[in-house]
């Protein structure tokens, strides 16, 4: 029996889902490779390309290999790269982080020489460079000295920009570091260099694979004394607001998937460009599920990135950048 319904009793949403062409026409959220940033782990040596056990498909690479990666990144239309340097030697003050011939500084020079138009972003932190694995100078009680650390972070940022970095990204979560970096850059004649602050960075369990990749695991304690408590959303908004007041040009929420609510709140509240870091643990989880046959990789990856974009992120830092760019093409 056919049931006759008045046309006003329900709406036929399926009309706009009838074909891929129709779905594409009305799609509200669109991914673009131009909005991706691809992280690179750069190590000393030549011809080095060592797969990271905790992050299948990601590598520790020497500078010459990074130059080849940059060529591919440009060809795929990806928005930029984020440089993490792994030094040949570490010390308590992380001195290679701000050395003019440090691994990150040399990588920046090589990348900008090979690909002048590529946006090169540098991670500004000490954890990869310190013998103890923490993000700053350690006091006798084992805590991090906030104010001495931000002075060093300002030196790191200036050294990166002197080498040619287009944008610096402090990830340490010390209080006042954005203001210190802004002041140091301005004094050095780099008033036009923007800062992308890891503004709401949580002390997350999802950084584990990264610490293998960057060889930056703390040798004692943890980072919960300076990174954010994942339970605090109001505090996250205060952190972002503070970094904006100190001079940040772009603000970031990290991790992305466990903080979609924070990304949405930040998008509604602040007008600055908003970044989200799709972190190593999120990447590793998806890769493991794909390897086990539980997920279809292309669909799952693009759905994941679309969710981050839909929440409000303008920029997505992601290890999926190259494969996602190919699928989108």
pLDDT of residue 109: 98
pLDDT of residue 307: 98
Burial of 117 (0-12, 13-18, 19+ CB in 10 A): exposed
Q: What's the mean pLDDT in 119-131? A: 93
Of residues 90, 254, 309, 322, which has the active-site annotation?
254
Which stretch of 82-86, 120-124, 134-138, 171-175 has the lowest confidence by average pLDDT? 134-138
Examine residue 10 and state whether it is found in any structural domain, yes or no: no
254 belongs to the catalytic site: yes
Examine residue 229 and state whether it is found in any structural domain, yes or no: yes
Backbone angles phi, psi at 179, to 5 degrees: -60, -40
**CA proximity to 119, closest of 327, 321, 326, 329:** 321
pTM: 0.94
Percent above pLDDT 90 for the chain: 82
> 51: domain range?
30-328
SS3 of 294, please? Answer: coil
pLDDT tens profile 9-37: 788 999 999 999 999 999 999 999 999 99
Sign of CA dihedral 165, 69, 295, 289: negative
pLDDT tens profile 36-81: 999 999 999 999 999 999 999 999 999 999 999 999 999 999 999 9
The residue length of the chain stands at 329
pLDDT of residue 222: 79
pLDDT of residue 220: 66
What are the residues whose beta carbons fall under 8 Å from the beta carbon of 295, sequence distance 6 or more?
Answer: 286, 289
Examine residue 283 and state whether it is found in any structural domain, yes or no: yes
DSSP 170-214: E-S--TTHHHHHHHHHHHTT-TT--BEEEEEEB--GGGHHHHHHT
pLDDT of residue 214: 74
Examine residue 47 and state whether it is found in any structural domain, yes or no: yes
Q: Considering the chain, what is the average pLDDT of its residues?
A: 94
Of residues 201, 287, 309, 322, which has the active-site annotation?
201
- In this structure, the dihedral spanned by the alpha carbons of residues 199, 245, 242 and 226, taken in order and rounded to 10 degrees, is 60
What are the CA-CA distances from residue 125 to residues 21, 135, 155, 178, 235 (Å)? Answer: 46, 6, 11, 12, 22
Quote the number of domains for the chain: 1
pLDDT of residue 318: 98
CATH code (residue 39):
3.20.20.70
Examine residue 222 and state whether it is found in any structural domain, yes or no: yes
DSSP 117: T
Examine residue 12 and state whether it is found in any structural domain, yes or no: no
Work out the number of other CB atoms within 10 angstroms of the CB of residue 89: 9
Examine residue 162 and state whether it is found in any structural domain, yes or no: yes
For residue 3, pLDDT over 70 is answered with: no
Examine residue 24 and state whether it is found in any structural domain, yes or no: no
């Amino acid at each position: 029996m056919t049931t006759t319904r008045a046309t006003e009793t329900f709406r036929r949403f399926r009309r706009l889902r009838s074909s891929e062409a129709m779905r594409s026409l009305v799609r509200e959220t669109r991914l673009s490779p131009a909005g991706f940033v691809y992280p690179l782990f750069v190590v000393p040596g030549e011809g080095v390309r060592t797969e990271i056990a905790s992050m299948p498909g990601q590598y520790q690479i020497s500078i010459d290999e990074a130059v080849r990666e940059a060529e591919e990144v440009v060809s795929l239309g990806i928005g930029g790269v984020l440089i993490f340097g792994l030094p040949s030697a570490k010390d308590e003050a992380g001195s290679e982080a701000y050395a003019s011939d440090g691994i990150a500084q040399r990588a920046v020079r090589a990348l900008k020489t090979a690909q002048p138009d590529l946006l090169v972003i540098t991670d500004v932190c000490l954890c990869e460079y310190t013998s103890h694995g923490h993000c700053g100078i350690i006091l006798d009680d084992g805590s991090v000295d906030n104010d001495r650390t931000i002075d060093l972070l300002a030196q790191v940022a200036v050294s990166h920009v002197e080498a040619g970095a287009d944008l610096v990204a402090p990830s340490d979560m010390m209080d006042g570091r954005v203001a210190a970096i802004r002041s140091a850059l301005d004094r050095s004649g780099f008033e036009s260099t923007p800062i992308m602050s890891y503004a709401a960075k949580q002390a997350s369990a999802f950084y584990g694979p990264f610490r293998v990749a960057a060889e930056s695991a703390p040798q004692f304690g943890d980072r919960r004394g300076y990174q954010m408590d994942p339970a605090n959303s109001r505090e996250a908004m205060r952190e972002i607001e503070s970094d904006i007041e100190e001079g940040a040009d772009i603000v970031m929420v990290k991790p992305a998937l466990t903080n979609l609510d924070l990304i949405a709140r930040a998008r509604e509240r602040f007008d600055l460009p908003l970044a989200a870091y799709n972190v190593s643990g999120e990447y590793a989880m998806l890769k493991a599920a794909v390897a086990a046959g539980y997920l279809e990789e292309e669909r799952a990856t693009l759905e994941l990135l679309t969710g981050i974009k839909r929440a409000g992120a303008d920029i997505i830092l992601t290890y999926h950048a190259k494969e996602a760019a190919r699928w989108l093409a």
